[in-house]
Structure 1
Amino acid sequence: MSTTKLAARRSVGAQAVMLAGATGIAQLIVALVYIAAARSATPADFGWVVSAIALGTVAVGFVDFGTNSFWVREIARNQLPLNEFSRRGSGKLMAATILAALWLLFSVPVLQGTSYWMAAPVFLSLLLNQTAQVSLRGMARGELVAWSILADRIVVAIVLAIVSATGANAAQFLWLALTAGSVVAAGMGWWMTPAHSRPGPRLWRRTNPWKGSGYYGLSTVAISAQGIDVMIIGGFGGPAAAGLYGAVNRWTQPMSLLAGAFSSASVPFVAHSQTWRLAWPHLRSGIWLLGVAVSICIGVAIGAPWIVEMLIGPRYAGAAPVLQVLALGTIPAIFNQPLSGFLQSLGHDRIVSLITVAAVVFQLALVALSARFLGALGAAIAFSVLQILILAGLTAAAIVTGRPGYRRR
């Protein structure tokens, strides 16, 4: 695909608005789903469920190891043939299926009394969904990805509503709703991909799915590892603290959706441009979305006590200051998303990985140290410190790599 064809599609701003709109509705649905699930269980019981889901989500980052982001860049550059993409994608999904089966065989008999077996279906379905979106993202078809995202969350809401109508414990079936949503979205993403770019199964040839994605992988694993902060809180602060944190930590996702949509829509254009100067004309049409995202964060931080009490009740009153700190910490995260994506798209994935890994290691160590004394609030503070450190590092990297005569090492 040429630069002309990419530019002829909807602009970055238009695609970002469509992605943000779909993602905004999707995240609202997720917030409502988690609220319904939290209301059906005690903080301790809900803590087990969100810990299992967090484990499955973290596993996606480890197994994917940056391949999806790397493939998006290579497709945008016209450097990844369809047959090779199909072989790599099939190999990765086969490995993931084996790992999920092994986890079920271990967790069901050995970890009885916990919900950790739920991680397997959440992990496998989410990885399938993300892989199914690669071609569309690489072709700069963010508007089609938006429909897939929306379909995912609508299915989640429908499944959980059916479960709740039967009188069952919604928290215990949250995994089923999330899995069903990812599977439906994966099928929809594959169907919307043009036939000439649609991957298929290629299981009869050996291949290395992770070839070339090393530094992308380090960044992805580090970011995914952030998800174990819930498990660390549970281990050092107890399941009740994990429940308080898990009840509101996903509420920050709608705050950063505008930045995420802007970054997702921009990455193919930046990858194809290959310089900051050539990429800027595409980026400026959507840069205003970052300002809107910051305003939302400030509003949520101010209204957190009222929001928490209204949505999940007085039992979770201790989650209000946690949400406030998370909302403020999301402000630097809003700028980190596009900065890291742009640097990777321009070939500076090694720099991004080093910054991200170092910052996440520091964050998780801080969570472990503070959870015993501050509980959920300690994890929120650690998250905020992490985002500030990453922003400082990425900004410095962007300045250095953008200088005339800079040579990539």
Structure 2
Amino acid sequence: MLTARGPGRSRHRPARLAGRLRPRGALTRQTLALAGSTAVSQLIYAGLLTVVAKHAGPADLGAAAAVIGLGSFLGGLLDYGFTSYSLRELAAGRMSTVEYWSRLRTKLALTVAVGLAAVLVAGVTLPDPGLVAGGAVVAFGRILVLGVTIPNRADRRVGRIAVVTVLERVVALVTYLIVTAVHPVDPVSGLWLSLGLGTLVAGLCGLLLTAGGHELVTSRRLVNPWSAVAGFGSYALAVSACSLDTALLGLAGGGVQAGLYGAVNRWTQPAQMIAQSYSMAAVPPLSAAESTRAAARIVRNSLGLLLLGIVACAALAVAAPALVPVLLGDTYRGSVPVLVLLAGSAAAMLLNQPLLTVLTSRGHDRFVGRAAVVTVAAQLLGVWLLAGPVGALGAALAALLSQAALTVVLAVGLARLIVRETGPDADAVPQPAAPRAGERAGMATRLPQ
């Protein structure tokens, strides 16, 4: 048994275990708290990029946006389903936090090694290795900040998650404003500096707010972070590959088109966070549901949250002609139709998240991964083919069509699964494994009380 005191010396009590298993708030309230903090974070991030856009031209901003996309892709590549798998296993009690911190430590060490190697190679082969360094900062930040919040997500400590999520972007924005006000600096270099400092401050805060977080830096144990995550890995790669759209657009359509796209492609993030936060909050109850039909009922009872996101997307599309010129200037008027299509893509993603959460929570992550890989590959191919003829508009159209296709595939897959579970061959349908003896109790003593 893995406990806070090590194997064989558990001090957990039945009351503490019961408290661990008892929901700490309604799913709707938890989802709104997660969505609210993430939306605030993304709005601050969009504000940071808007400030950078006013100091840099479309070409420089396009280069920065491409590097951010490449850094996000690298972070997702190194994640390879680690986050989703760990959240499900921690929530279900099949993984102790001792094992989790060991896995995260190994992944962070590999991320630093890959980043340093990339910067050294860029320093030798490229005239300006700064963009590569920026990509490494983005990748490390994504892994660190998300990693330190996973135990609290599994334990539904939404207040602590909100603090870390918002703090990262607040520190980044304040740092950029101070640096550019005190000393003239290249806007893109100032962006990397601010993002890096925000990551470090938020990561330290997350460790301090999580019981046992000190083990990330004090323990020397290393564990393979990608053990048993294959089903989630393909989906994670597909999601990360989506961030390559700006880079592909820049290669095929030019830096100006990438700048027009990159200036607004983050504006839809707050709406998308409603669905993603719902997925994070729903993993524990969906994993514990007795059947897929019961899990689907949990989702159906909270569909009002998704409607809020869809309404927000529609409002953004309507307001795009007025918002873009005011916030970015006349130079970015070409971003207006791009933002309209991206708002539609975000609305489709809102519908995707509950569907894929039900399927992955019920042990069908391989199906979700295959569907995501195919649709994202089609999206990137569409970006490459349409970038020349229609530029940034083609990239936005490819995003919309791919998300719509994924919605249809996931809906059909979920419907077929429900039919199978209620049909004559219901006993042959695999169900998620229950926690092994002792694992839930071990995790209970490790998570914050």
State the TM bucket, normalised to the shorter chain.
Answer: over 0.9
In 2, Cα distance between equivalents of 1:400 and 1:76:
26
The aligned counterpart of 2:25 is: 10
The aligned counterpart of 2:284 is: 268
1:175 to 176, 183, 192: 192
In 2, Cα distance between equivalents of 1:394 and 1:2:
35
8 A Cα contact 1:360 1:386, kept in partner: yes
In 1, Cα distance between equivalents of 2:222 and 2:211:
26
The amino acid across from 1:380 in the alignment is A
In 2, Cα distance between equivalents of 1:172 and 1:30:
16
2:106 matches 1:91: yes
The aligned counterpart of 2:81 is: 66
Stretch of structure 1 that moved more, 2-11 or 93-102: 2-11
Stretch of structure 1 that moved more, 399-408 or 148-157: 399-408
The aligned counterpart of 1:22 is: 37
8 A Cα contact 1:236 1:372, kept in partner: yes
DSSP-derived class of the 2:185 partner = coil
2:55 matches 1:40: yes
- TM normalised by structure 2 equals 0.86
The amino acid across from 2:102 in the alignment is R
2:357 matches 1:341: yes
2:208 matches 1:191: yes
Stretch of structure 1 that moved more, 92-101 or 160-169: 160-169
8 A Cα contact 1:86 1:202, kept in partner: no
Stretch of structure 1 that moved more, 2-11 or 283-292: 2-11
Q: Which runs of no fewer than 5 residues in structure 2 stay unpaired?
A: 1-15, 432-449
DSSP-derived class of the 1:133 partner = helix
Residues 148-297 of structure 1: matches in 2 within 5 Å?
148-166=164-182, 167-195=184-212, 199-201=215-217, 204-205=220-221, 207-273=223-289, 275-279=291-295, 283=299, 286-297=302-313
Distance change in 2, residues 1:269/1:185 (3 Å): farther
8 A Cα contact 1:237 1:371, kept in partner: yes
1:231-278 Cα offsets, whole Å, 9 max, x none, are 101100001111110000011101212222222211222123353344
1:350 to 366, 386, 393: 366
Offset at residue 140 of structure 1 (A): 2.1
The aligned counterpart of 1:379 is: 395
In 2, Cα distance between equivalents of 1:141 and 1:85:
17
2:122 matches 1:112: no
The amino acid across from 1:242 in the alignment is A
8 A Cα contact 1:82 1:198, kept in partner: no
Offset at residue 2 of structure 1 (A): 6.6
The aligned counterpart of 2:142 is: 126
1:138-173 Cα offsets, whole Å, 9 max, x none, are 112233212211111111111111122123333331
In 2, Cα distance between equivalents of 1:227 and 1:180:
22
Offset at residue 3 of structure 1 (A): 8.3
Residues 75-90 of structure 1: matches in 2 within 5 Å?
75-90=90-105
8 A Cα contact 1:343 1:398, kept in partner: yes
DSSP-derived class of the 1:163 partner = helix
Offset at residue 183 of structure 1 (A): 2.0
8 A Cα contact 2:103 2:224, kept in partner: yes
Aligned length: 408
In 1, Cα distance between equivalents of 2:297 and 2:218:
39
8 A Cα contact 1:259 1:334, kept in partner: yes
DSSP-derived class of the 2:216 partner = coil
8 A Cα contact 1:40 1:171, kept in partner: no
8 A Cα contact 2:145 2:164, kept in partner: no
The amino acid across from 1:180 in the alignment is L
2:412 to 388, 391, 396: 396
1:355-403 Cα offsets, whole Å, 9 max, x none, are 0001011111111100011111110000001101110111111112223
In 1, Cα distance between equivalents of 2:88 and 2:382:
33
Residues 301-340 of structure 1: matches in 2 within 5 Å?
301-340=317-356
In 2, Cα distance between equivalents of 1:25 and 1:147:
11
Distance change in 2, residues 1:149/1:331 (3 Å): same
In 1, Cα distance between equivalents of 2:328 and 2:211:
43
Q: Percent identity?
A: 32
Distance change in 2, residues 1:3/1:358 (3 Å): farther
DSSP-derived class of the 2:264 partner = helix
Offset at residue 214 of structure 1 (A): 0.7
Offset at residue 205 of structure 1 (A): 4.5
Distance change in 2, residues 1:188/1:92 (3 Å): same
In 2, Cα distance between equivalents of 1:74 and 1:198:
21
Distance change in 2, residues 1:184/1:269 (3 Å): farther
In 1, Cα distance between equivalents of 2:124 and 2:155:
45
